[in-house]
């Protein structure tokens, strides 16, 4: 209640000292409080829902990061098997479902050789990989190539794909990277339609005949 409102209430009580709790003194200043609430409440609720939205986004991003890392781990074990890409997809879908995320929002998936040419691993190759498979994951965890063309094994000269037979599992094995995108939808439309998250994880392929592997060469 502002100073002007206090003055009005003081003058009102001087005129009607025996009726301080009934009109006309009771409602003095009430209109000003309503105006102040109307001015402040939009900003308050915007900040409140913004914090909630940030919390949901952080949780979804953490879940997606874990899903990509889990898929990379599966890929590092089963890289040389014919259905290696589908196993990576299945791990991605399973992790997203367990985190109550929508697998339908999973976008493009890139499986690439993250070799920097000097025996090390390079995460920047996710943007310009020298050997890679690009595709999408179906709801049942099946891998599909983006262009619908399944590369041959061994790949033809000049083909940038990285099929299972081209992945080196003999010591020292290739580093395998998985890069995926996920579209996060904002709960409240006032913040926009959403944002696309991209996560990349790299692990070196486990040496041939790693535990859990069913490769025909084992």
Q: Which pLDDT does position 161 carry in this prediction?
A: 86
Q: Which pLDDT does position 197 carry in this prediction?
A: 94
Angle at 35 between CA 29 and CA 40, to 5 degrees: 125
Q: Dig out the tokens for 196 from the structure.
A: 């696309």
* Residue ranges in the chain whose pLDDT is less than 70: 1-31, 117-120, 123-130, 208-218
N-terminal to C-terminal alpha carbon distance within the chain: 81
Q: Which pLDDT does position 46 carry in this prediction?
A: 86
**Do 57 and 196 contact (CB within 8 A), yes or no?**
no
* 180 beta partners: 109, 199
Strand order in the sheet with 175-184: 143-145, 132-137, 106-113, 175-184, 195-204
Domain boundaries, the chain: 23-204
pTM: 0.74
Q: Which pLDDT does position 97 carry in this prediction?
A: 93
């Amino acid at each position: 209640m502002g100073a002007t409102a206090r003055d009005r209430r003081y003058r009102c009580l001087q005129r009607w000292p025996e009726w301080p709790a009934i009109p006309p003194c009771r409602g003095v200043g009430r209109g000003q409080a309503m105006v102040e609430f109307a001015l402040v409440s939009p900003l308050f609720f915007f900040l409140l829902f913004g914090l909630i939205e940030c919390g949901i986004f952080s949780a979804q991003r953490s879940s997606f990061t874990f899903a990509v890392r889990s898929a990379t781990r599966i890929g590092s074990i089963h890289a040389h098997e014919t259905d290696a890409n589908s196993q990576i997809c299945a791990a991605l879908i399973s992790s997203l479902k367990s985190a109550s995320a929508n697998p339908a929002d999973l976008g493009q998936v890139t499986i690439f050789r993250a070799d920097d040419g000097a025996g090390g691993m390079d995460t920047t190759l996710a943007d310009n990989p020298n050997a890679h498979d690009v595709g999408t994951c179906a709801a049942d965890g099946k891998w599909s190539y983006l262009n619908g063309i399944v590369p041959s094994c061994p790949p033809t000269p000049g083909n940038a794909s990285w099929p299972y037979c081209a992945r080196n599992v003999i010591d020292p094995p290739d580093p395998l990277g998985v890069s995926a995108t996920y579209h996060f939808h904002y709960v409240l439309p006032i913040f926009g339609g959403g944002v696309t998250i991209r996560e990349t994880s790299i692990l070196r392929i486990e040496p041939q005949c790693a535990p859990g592997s069913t490769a025909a060469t084992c």
